[in-house]
Amino acid sequence: MKIITKKTTDLRGFDFNEGVVILMNKPIDWTSYKVVDKIKKILKTKKVGHAGTLDPLATGLLILCTGKMTKKIHEFQNLLKEYRGKIYFGKKTPTMDRESFNDSNGTNDISYLSLGLIRETAKKFVGEIEQIPPVHSAVWINGKRAYELARKGKEVNLKPRKAFIESFEIFNYEPPLADFVVRCSKGTYARSLANDLGDSLGCGAFLYELERTAIGEFRIEDAITVNELIRLSKESKN
């Protein structure tokens, strides 16, 4: 398996039709689809896929497969994923993250919260759980994405889905924000996890910041940026 990481110094020798794995560091405000489309243009190859969507406001590790390696995308999707980020307590937002945050969302009392209480409540979410995906998500409903319906003001009813949380650690609570690290299965929504934790604590919460730091043994520290890949591509043509 040939892998492109931030340590890669030359793209010559890589056959993108035969199949290459790219550890990509997704920038904020980019959709996962935009990253895929950009890589297709940089590498001048038509077949590129990713092994797990990241929301536009999320950053971090996005595994891309080209050519024949796209047939093995499911193997990467099935690996445990690790995320780190921040949860904002005392407010709820329609998108369950910062995208729809504003001062009119309303503020709830969080004076009773403590790091110990949040940590103890977070333990309830470790193991196999059921969670409802955010209505502003890419889940398909009768041929339409859920977020497309939600943005049009239509009612979106999503059924609970099973997810597995290996660990959910809360640390460094400075009201209203707490840092967290979670290791979880595919299909887990960090936005739903933050929302449900806030509901369990009785004050509401939303996902303020998120970075995917690992997929299986693959780490964000080894991921290449889009700009670095562009530079390598130009240098390899000289």
Catalytic, out of 10, 55, 179, 222: 55
89: CB partners within 8 A, 6+ apart: 110, 113, 118, 175, 176, 177, 178, 198, 201, 203, 204, 205
Strands 140-141 and 144-145: antiparallel
**DSSP H helices in the chain:** 32-43, 73-77, 115-122, 146-151, 190-201, 226-236
Provide CB contacts within 8 A for 182, sequence distance 6+.
82, 83, 84, 165, 167, 168, 169, 188, 190, 193
Angle at 184 between CA 178 and CA 190, to 5 degrees: 45
* 222 flagged as catalytic: no
DSSP state of 125: G
**Which ranges of 83-157 does DSSP label H, i.e. alpha helix?**
115-122, 146-151
As beta bridge partners, residue 91 has none
Give the β-pairing of 140-141 and 59-66. unpaired
Among candidate residues 85, 38, 88, the one with its CA nearest the CA of residue 228: 38
Active site residues: 55
